[in-house]
Structure formats: C-alpha cells, structure tokens
Structure 1
Amino acid sequence: MYELAKIPLNNEQSLVLAHKRTMKLGELAGLSLVAQTSFATAVSEVSRDAIQDGVDASLTLGINPEPESECGIVAKINDRRHLIIRQKNPHIDSARHLVDTFTISTSEMGSEVQLGVRFPAGLCFNDAPIEWWKKQFTTEPTESPSDEIKRKNSQLQELAERLRTSEKKYQALTDSLPLMIFTAAIDGKLLYANDWLKKYTGHSVASLNETNWATVIHDDDAAIWWSNWAETPSNGNTFRAEVRIKHAEADVYIWHLATVKALRDEKGVLFWSGFLVDVQAQKMVDRTLKDNLELMETKQKLEKYQHELKLNIGELNRSNQELAEFAYVASHDLQEPLRKIQSFGTVLVEQFRNELSPPAQDLVQRMHQAAERMHVLIKDILTYSRLNTQHQAFRPIDLNVLVQEVLGDLEVNIGEKKARIGVEPLPSLYGNPLQLRQLFQNLLSNALKFSAPDRSLQIHIFAREVTIFDIPTPVRNREPAYLAISVEDNGIGFDERYHNRIFQLFQRLHGKDQYAGTGIGLTICKKVAEMHGGTIAAQSHPGQGATFTVYLPQRVAV
C-alpha cells in the first residue's frame, strides 16, 4: 500500500476532514460520484465509531497498485481499542456493504479496519501518478465543515433535480410509444410500467405484482415466461419469448414478443428493462402462409389421387361392363343346351318310364329337378346382367298401378299362402318400370316364400317422407329428402347380424332343401334402388317378421 494522507480522528472536525479527503481520493481514482459517496460514507461510519469514546485513532488513505493485490484505493482506521470488533455494531455493518473489500484485524496495538474499492477495469498506477496524488492532498485548499456540507447539499439537490428531469423525460417518451415498456426487480416484480401497458392490461403496477401477471398472461405461456426470468441471470443478459397477453377491452389474448434485458454491475443483476411488441398480425401471416403451403401440398396430392381414381374407375367400369356382357352372353347361350336337357328328361319320364328301373327313374327325376333349378338360376343371372347392359330412360310411373300388376302376377302364390296384403296410397315417380317391377316382385316373393307356418301371412306396403339422417345405410349421392317405401311382413324374419350379407350375390341364410331360390333376388333389389339414386335396408328379428325399405330421392317423385 502507498500512503497518501494520514488524518487523526479525535473530533467532529476531523470526521468532516476524513470524509472530504476520502471523496477526493475517490475522485482521483476516477470513481463515479455514487461510488465516491459510497466509499466516503463507509469510511465515515467506521471513523465515527473510532472517535465515539474519544480514544486516540487515525485514518490512513492510500492505494494498492499491484494487480495481484486487486488495484484500488484503501482506507485504514487504527484504534487502540478492541471494541471495534464487537459482534453487533450498526456502523460496521453499514460500512461493510458499501465497499468491495472489508477486513478487521487486531494486535497488541489495538484494532485495524481496512476498506477498499477497486479501480475501474484495467486501471493501475505507477510511482509518477502517486507523487502527483500526494501533492493534490497537500495543496488542496481548506474548507469549513459548514461550507462543505452546503456544497455537498447543493450538489445533491442538483443531482436530484437532474434525476427528476431525466425520469420525466423517460416517462414522457415511453408513454408516447405504442409499446408496453417496463422495468422490474430481480424477482420480476414491476418497478415501473408505461401508460400503454396499464391501459392495455387494465391493471396497475401494484395489481400486476399482486397477481404475478396471472390475470393477463395466457396459462399455457406463463411457465415459459417465468422460467426465462429465472434462467437468464446465469445464461446471459437478454431473453426473448412469445407470450399471449390479454387485451382488457377486447377480452382476448394477443400474441406479443417480449424482449427483456438484465442490467448488471460487477456484483450481478441490478434490475430488468423490457418491452412487449404486438406480433399478432405477423403470427396470423405466418399461420396463413403455412396453411396455404399445406393446402397447396394437399391439393396436389388430391389432384393426383383424383387422377388415379378416375383411371381406376374407368378401368373398373370397363371391367364391370365386360363382365356383365359376358354373364349375359354366357347365360343366354346356356339356355339352349339346358332346354335340351329338360326336354330329354321329360321324354325319358313320359315315354320310357316302364323301361327304366326305379333307381334310373329316380336319377332322371333328380336330373330334371336340377335342370329346373339351373333354368331359374340362369334366368335370374340374365335379369341381373340386364340391369347393367340395358339402360332405359326413366318415365313417370304410378306405383299404385305397378304394385297391383305385381300382385296380379303373384295371385296364385298369394292364394296358396292365404296372404292378406294391405297397400296404402303410394306416390308416382320417374323411374324404369321394368326394374321397379323386378324390385317389388322380388320383395313380395320373398315375403310369400318366408312366411311363418303357424300364423296367417300379412303383408303391408306403405310410403313416407324422410331425410338423409333417417336412412340407416350409406347413400352414394346424398340428397336432402327421400321417399321411404316399405314392404312389411309377419314371416319368419332373420337375425340382423346378416343384414349386409342378404344383399350380396348368391348369399342365402337357409338351405335349398328348406326354401327355393338362387340368392340373387335381394341383390337385384339393391341394384335397382342404387340405379334410381337410393338404397335399401332391412329390419328384422327371428320369428317376428321383416321390413324391407327402399329409399329413393324425392327428386324422382312426379
């Protein structure tokens, strides 16, 4: 340590001189006025304690120029007492927090307190400036304590006025900007907020601190917001985060970009300074651009799929057309050999019965029955194939007349079953008369075929208007309104687990020995309904009859 000045501490006048010399030392060291004042205050506090009991004490001022000793200014207060090191001393405790280094030592000569403040970064001194400093202390004019106090008070008043003016300018500037500007303590508690922040959120500084911003920050963003406050001091000086802030007047959350900077000194963070910028429009633009890009990619994929689907549908239609034509030709060509088989069987039974043995007669009879079943099957296949190969224009049809004609065709069968059939008034519509005749003939034939042996058969035919939401099965082309035409019976019914199966080609729920048929009738009904823009569904329970309902769009109604 290089000694610059030594001041005896024995009265209040020496205390004033010690404060003055300490301020001068801080000024020569290039410290700020605040740092000068802090150092002088700390020295004064310890010096006041040293002269309190009027014992001989002294203050030595100097510098430590060596880097390894932490270059800076030093003040030593020597006191022959040991009371200076007592545990509870407000003067000592106050001084300890105002300087960079503070040590207390004792010896036979008494106590010594050393206070130090480091030079500004990178600054150390050699012998030439030290001699110049000594000269400054010896040539400095004296000043009375009262004059010095007046001068210091004047300086403090001037500084306070400058500070008030600066604060007013800062507030006027921040209030004029359409940004939320604030300063906050280390823990995030607001110290200052401009008018825009208070108007936007509808909360005062005190209210925001009380709720910890919970009423204005979106719940999903609060964790990110406060984690940045906690992590930034150790990771850097600035953090940025996108958070949603609630607009008090509109009562909606708006995206903002928060930029918060930590202001530090050598000891750590002093306070935070930050601002919030509305980025809602930018977020919407970014979202729109992203959505447009995704929409464009989806559109390209959809166009590709539509092209592939169109090719597949064309290929499928061509294949179905060829298959239908093949079924039609094959079924038609099978008619001739089948008629010969039936004719030859009839000749054998009628003309050569006596010449055939009983087993041969049984074989011929069975052959004749099989040929008859084949005839019915080929006839049904031809009927089904004609639905695809023979397209006829629709024309107005009175369903009341059409159903009566079908009942006339089935008169013999109805009489054998002693069936009672009730037909409510039916609508007129545009359609293919041949196809619709096949549809009702198959539905009524099924009702007659699957009658219950223990009760009289009753069949009820009726129609009603429904919407698309009343239809239990999918419709290819959705229409808002439909006609529901039902054929209801009290026959043997079936398990609804097989609802979809009964409309498939060649599917049967009963053996051929129980009920005759090829399994094509209901498939034809479904095909006819679909060719008229509708569909067909069934409701049933075993032993409780069945209801088959054809759903046709009302646009086909006359």
Structure 2
Amino acid sequence: MYELTKVSLDDEQDLILAHKRTLKLGELAGLSLVVQTTFATAVLEVSRDALQHGSDVSLTLGIVTPNGSRARIMAKIIDSRIPITGQKNERIEVASRLVDEVQISKSEKGSEVRLSIPVLADQCVNETNVALWKHHFNTEPTELVADEIKRKNNQLQELAERLRTSERQYQVLSDSLPLMIFTATAKGKLLYANEWLRKYTGESVAQLNKTKWETVLYEDDAAVWWEKWAETASVDHAFQIEIRIRNAETGAYVWHRMTATALLDEKKEVVYWSGFLVDIQAQRMVERTLQDNRELTETKQKLEQYQHELKLNIGELNRSNQELAEFAYIASHDLQEPLRKIQSFGTLLVEQFANELNPTAQDLIQRMHHAAERMHVLIKDILAYSRLNTHHQPFRQVDLNALIQEVLGDLELTIREKKTQVFVDFLPTIYGNPLQLRQLFQNLLSNALKFIAPDRPPQVRISARDVTIFDIPVPMRQREPSYLAISVEDNGIGFDERYHNRIFQLFQRLHGKDLYAGTGIGLTICKKVAEMHGGTIAAQSQPGQGATFTVFLPQSVAVSVPAK
C-alpha cells in the first residue's frame, strides 16, 4: 500500500479529522458522492470501534495498485487490543455491508482492519497525482472548529441511525417473505441472506462464502451456477438459472429458480447483485411427468413395431442358427475321413520308404504330418463346440469334486511331467450338464498346465465362494442376486488384461502355435458352457504373475455349496 496520510485517533475530534480525510481521498480518486460517503462511513464505524475498545489507535489512508487489477483506495485501522478475528462486532459488520472488501488480521501492534473499494477512474492514479495527494494531506490544517465537529458528528450519527433503521426494515420485510433473498458482490460473495435462506440451507452467510455453496448445491449444478454467474457478471445485468439446493431438514435436493439483478453505479458497472430463490420442484415434477408420458407413448408405439418385426424374424433366425450348427457338425465330421487318410499315407511314406527319401523330402512329410495333426485337433474342437448347440441334454446333479478328480485323472501324465502341484478346495454340487462341465474344467486345467512359468514350480488351485451380482466384472445376459464363483488359479506366465475379451473369442490366440499348441477354441467352449448354465466367465491376470479364470454360476443351480 502507498501511504498518503496517517491520523492518530485519541478522541472524537480525531474521528472527525479521519472522516474528513477519508472523504477527501474518495473525492481525489474520482468516486461519486454516494460512494465517498459510504466508504467514509465504514471507516468511521471501524475507527470508532477501535477507539472505544482499544488503545494506541491509528488510521492510515493509501492507494493499492494490484497487478492486473483495478486500483483501490484503502484504510488501515490498527489498535493494541487482542486479535478480534472471528468475534461478533456490530460496527465491523456494518462496515462489511458498506464496502466489498474488509480484512481482519493480527498485526505486530495488536489488531488490524483493512477496508478498500475500487477506483473507477484508473487514469487518475499515477505517480504525479499520488504525490500531489500526499502533499495535500501533509499541508492540510488539522484544526477544526467546534461547530464543524458538532455538525459533522451529528450528520454521521444521523446517517448511521438511518442506515440501521433501513437495514432493520429490509430484514423484517425479507424474512417475512417465503423466498430465499440475498445480496452479493459481483464475484458472488454473499453480503446478506434472509432468515429463510439460512434456515433452509442450515448454513450462515460466512459458511456459504467459505464453501462457495458446495455443501448445499447439487454436485452437477455447482459448476453451472458459478460459470453462469461469471459469464453474466461481465456481460449482462440480470440472469436466471435453475439449480438443486439441499434442504437441511430433510437432506433432499430440491429444484429452485434463482433470479438475480445487478445494481449499477454511474459507470454502469456492477456494485452488487440482488437476488432470490423460488422453489419450483412441483413445476419440474409436472413437466417431467408430461415429458415421461410423451416418451412412454412413443416408446410403446416403437415397442409394438419391434415386437411385430421380432415375431416375423425370430422363427427364421432360429431355423438359420439350427442349420448353421448342424452344418458345422456335419462338415467337421466329414473332414475326419480324408484327414485320417492323409495321416495314414504320411506314416506309410515315413515307415516304408524312408531309405528312398532324401532329408528334404522326409522333412516335408514330417511337416505335413504335424499340420494334419493340428487339423485333427482343430476339427475335434470344432465338433465339441458345435455339439454344444446341437445336443441339448437335461441337467442333473453334478458333484464338482468328483468331476474335477476325473479331469485330473485324465491329465495325470501331464501333471507328473511338469511336476505341478494341484490344490482343490471343497466344491459344490450343482445342476448341470456333466459332459459340458467336464469340457469346461478340462480346458481351464489344460490351459493352466500349458502356460507355466519356466522360473518357478507350477501350482494350480481350484476353489469356490459366494458372490453377488456386483462382484462380477463382466456384463451378464441374465442377472440374479447371488452367484457361485468357481476359480482356477495358476502361477504361470499370465497375460495382459487388455486382451481379456479377445481370449474368449473363437480361434483367438495370444501366443504363436510354435510356442504353445492349441486352436484357440478351448476358452470359447468354456464361455459357451458357462452361458448355457446361466452364468459367465472372466479372467484376471498380469504378465508374469499367473492367471485366474473364474466361472460365475447363479445360486439357483446349486444343490449344495462349500462351507464358509
């Protein structure tokens, strides 16, 4: 702050001098008479409070020129009492309503109160003028005649009393109306709020300013509120917005329409906003009901049209799907015979004519044999997948403990060769298709035995637990409240979870066939079996950290569940 003059406040005569110099500073800064008087009154109220309750009181008047902002005239009142921050003080509250910026802080001498208002004519604030102002204050006589003191004092007292009376009348009127009424600065800082707003929100003016209304505005509306406020404050002089405000008594967010109008000064700039909030919840509900009725009618018409089209297409679709599944089964079955001949002829060539074939020919025959073997496995997998659609067998009770032991028996040789530890927790008995479930778990265990890590002993664990629909990480065609989650967990090479959906698609592989054998159908069969039992399958993994495949089946298929 650039200091222009300082006044020691010891008695009423000093207050009159302070008031006179404050008015003169406002005049030099180009403020209107109303603004001069308002600012001087605010300074006088704080000075009088400091003179009454403190000691070693002084008033300093000056100019502040923040970077990038409008210059401001400032009054700084310092006294030696303990800090007054947070204490209720009637005169300081009056001053806070008269000027847009009041700061209370602790200084080296005790308490410090700063009041400031913007200078409308920035061009008058320059080094030459400021020097002239300071010279004026330094040379101004400080002696005032008693009559002038008395007259000024009476004027100030009358003005203050009229101001308090006007405020009381306005407060009584605003509190009696069923509206939330407020006044605020151009930036949205509340200056006043009636009792209705304070009671409805449960927040004081200070609390609302501190939180910027975030505790009472609906989350999605807060940003719109302040964006609209900033946009309108710089362009227009009135605006409306619809927002949801929390009722402190019920906790419910209720729609309100906020209407704000700006009070302008002589320069057509916003001095402050005056606004009110009206409950429009009932209106919004009526509008929403009418809109819902229109949408419901349109949706009903579209639904009837879709149902008609669906009836026409569903029969054709079922027939086409059945023919496609049967075609896949027949085609795969018919491919077996020529493939067996290719394998047999290749074997005869190697066994009976090995001496007559050069190494290149033997290598070609060996490659043909391996290709035929892969084709055999592929056809076998396609047959297994097609049977899922063409062979519908009734469900019966399946003891998963016995079924897993049978699958482990089939894989015993591979388990021994790879020295794999397999841990099986107690599993439930469920209603299901035993052949399909056997395919599912044989494919999952084969995968776990195939993709082992070279740097650690392979381990596989099979377990079951109860979960809810919210624990399932993938979409479900049919949704039930609770599910069985049966997991096959290994410590193998794992995979990147961004390929999660890809691994369950037909013929999709994450590794080359030269590194790991397979056709890319096994996990597709697993997913199909899970879905035919009303569930789904999901995988969790990280590269190098193993993989967990979890089959989610609805609790409605369970006969018994594992003990918790």
Contact map agreement 1:427 1:557 (CA 8 A) in 2: yes
For 1:282 and 1:489, the matched residues in 2 are separated by 60
Cα drift, residue 309 of structure 1: 5.0
Superposed CA deviations along residues 381-405 of structure 1, whole A, max 9, x for unmatched, are: 0000101111111000000000000
For 1:343 and 1:250, the matched residues in 2 are separated by 83
Pair 299,350 (structure 1): closer, same or farther in 2 beyond 3 Å:
same
Superposed CA deviations along residues 178-202 of structure 1, whole A, max 9, x for unmatched, are: xxxxxxxxxxxxxxxxxxx979789
Partner of 1:4: none
Partner of 2:367: 366
Contact map agreement 1:465 1:484 (CA 8 A) in 2: yes
Partner of 2:119: none
For 1:519 and 1:202, the matched residues in 2 are separated by 67
Superposed CA deviations along residues 471-509 of structure 1, whole A, max 9, x for unmatched, are: 111111011000110111111111111111111110111
Correspondence 1:463 to 2:464: yes
Contact map agreement 2:462 2:486 (CA 8 A) in 1: yes
Partner of 1:397: 398
For 2:410 and 2:320, the matched residues in 1 are separated by 36
For 1:437 and 1:456, the matched residues in 2 are separated by 26
Pair 291,444 (structure 1): closer, same or farther in 2 beyond 3 Å:
closer
Partner of 1:529: 530
Contact map agreement 1:502 1:509 (CA 8 A) in 2: yes
Contact map agreement 1:402 1:437 (CA 8 A) in 2: yes
For 2:304 and 2:384, the matched residues in 1 are separated by 38
Correspondence 1:442 to 2:448: no
Structure 1: any 5+ residue segments left out of the alignment? 1-196, 204-210, 224-248, 257-277
Partner of 1:294: 295
Pair 408,297 (structure 1): closer, same or farther in 2 beyond 3 Å:
same
Pair 362,405 (structure 1): closer, same or farther in 2 beyond 3 Å:
same
For 2:316 and 2:334, the matched residues in 1 are separated by 27
What TM-score results when the alignment is normalised by the length of structure 2?
0.50
Partner of 1:515: 516
For 1:366 and 1:254, the matched residues in 2 are separated by 75
Partner of 2:411: 410
Partner of 1:373, secondary structure, is helix
Superposed CA deviations along residues 211-239 of structure 1, whole A, max 9, x for unmatched, are: 99977899x9xx9xxxxxxxxxxxxxxxx
What TM-score results when the alignment is normalised by the length of structure 1?
0.51
Greater gyration radius: 1
Contact map agreement 2:508 2:521 (CA 8 A) in 1: yes
For 1:398 and 1:548, the matched residues in 2 are separated by 20
Pair 284,421 (structure 1): closer, same or farther in 2 beyond 3 Å:
closer
Partner of 1:434, secondary structure, is helix
For 1:294 and 1:373, the matched residues in 2 are separated by 56
Contact map agreement 1:255 1:283 (CA 8 A) in 2: no
Contact map agreement 1:488 1:548 (CA 8 A) in 2: yes
Superposed CA deviations along residues 295-318 of structure 1, whole A, max 9, x for unmatched, are: 212222233344445655554443
Superposed CA deviations along residues 86-107 of structure 1, whole A, max 9, x for unmatched, are: xxxxxxxxxxxxxxxxxxxxxx
Correspondence 1:424 to 2:439: no
Cα drift, residue 356 of structure 1: 2.2
Cα drift, residue 279 of structure 1: 12
Number of aligned pairs?
334
Correspondence 1:556 to 2:524: no
Pair 216,346 (structure 1): closer, same or farther in 2 beyond 3 Å:
same
Amino acid across the alignment from 1:387: L
Cα drift, residue 348 of structure 1: 1.3
Matches within 5 A, 1:71-470: 288-308=289-309, 314-470=315-471
For 1:473 and 1:253, the matched residues in 2 are separated by 36
Pair 307,215 (structure 1): closer, same or farther in 2 beyond 3 Å:
farther
Cα drift, residue 541 of structure 1: 1.2
Contact map agreement 2:178 2:196 (CA 8 A) in 1: no
Partner of 2:105: none
Amino acid across the alignment from 2:462: I
Pair 386,255 (structure 1): closer, same or farther in 2 beyond 3 Å:
closer
Contact map agreement 1:457 1:490 (CA 8 A) in 2: yes
Amino acid across the alignment from 1:340: K
RMSD of aligned Cα (Å)? 4.7
Partner of 2:500: 499
For 1:536 and 1:343, the matched residues in 2 are separated by 39
For 1:310 and 1:321, the matched residues in 2 are separated by 17
Structure 2: any 5+ residue segments left out of the alignment? 1-174, 182-190, 201-224, 230-248, 258-278, 560-564
Amino acid across the alignment from 1:505: L
For 1:485 and 1:308, the matched residues in 2 are separated by 40
Amino acid across the alignment from 2:323: E
For 1:201 and 1:294, the matched residues in 2 are separated by 34
Superposed CA deviations along residues 97-131 of structure 1, whole A, max 9, x for unmatched, are: xxxxxxxxxxxxxxxxxxxxxxxxxxxxxxxxxxx
Partner of 1:354, secondary structure, is helix
Contact map agreement 1:417 1:457 (CA 8 A) in 2: yes
Amino acid across the alignment from 2:511: H
Amino acid across the alignment from 1:321: Q
Partner of 2:217: none
Partner of 1:513, secondary structure, is coil
Amino acid across the alignment from 2:439: Q
Pair 343,279 (structure 1): closer, same or farther in 2 beyond 3 Å:
closer
Superposed CA deviations along residues 144-171 of structure 1, whole A, max 9, x for unmatched, are: xxxxxxxxxxxxxxxxxxxxxxxxxxxx
Contact map agreement 1:501 1:507 (CA 8 A) in 2: yes
Contact map agreement 1:529 1:552 (CA 8 A) in 2: yes
Partner of 2:208: none
Calculate percent identity across the aligned residue pairs: 77
For 2:376 and 2:401, the matched residues in 1 are separated by 31
For 1:290 and 1:493, the matched residues in 2 are separated by 52
Cα drift, residue 469 of structure 1: 0.6
